[in-house]
Amino acid sequence: MAGDNVKHLSDKDFEATINGATPTLVDFWAPWCGPCKAIGPMVEELANEYAGKVVVAKMNVDENPTTPGKFGIRAIPTMILFKGGKVVDQVTGAVGKTQLVAMLGKAL
């Protein structure tokens, strides 16, 4: 089934996930967001292609308001790449897969 490699984060498990040894790409999204739905399948593809190398995670901003606030997220979708708990790169909007692959390369 698609999406098996995508981790769904909450405010509670966010810190533990991004502070892990594996780089983590977090997709901040909401169910009502059209562009978020548009890039959803691409996020799942990346999760499958980078399984074991990168943790790909999604965080619903409506259900978890604390974490997006900490990172100043004002627009979704926003993707933030973390390595060792630190922000490596960030992009907002429905970007192409090529841009996300280049972004992941910065942490690998």
Catalytic residues: 33, 36
Please give the pLDDT value at position 1: 39
- The model carries a pTM of 0.95
6-105 has which fold? Glutaredoxin (3.40.30)
Tell me the CA end-to-end span of the chain in Å, nearest whole number. Answer: 26
CA dihedral for 51, 62, 29, 36, sign (positive or negative): positive
The number of beta carbons lying within 10 Å of the beta carbon of residue 92 is 15
Locate the domains of the chain by residue range: 6-105
Q: What is the pLDDT of residues 63-108, one digit of tens each?
A: 999 999 999 999 999 999 999 999 999 999 999 999 999 999 999 9
pLDDT digits (tens, 9 = 90+) for 5-57: 999 999 999 999 999 999 999 999 999 999 999 999 999 999 999 999 999 99
Q: Give me the chain's average pLDDT, please.
A: 95
Residue 59 CB contacts under 8 Å (≥ 6 apart), including other chains: 8, 9, 10, 14, 26, 27, 28, 29, 67, 68
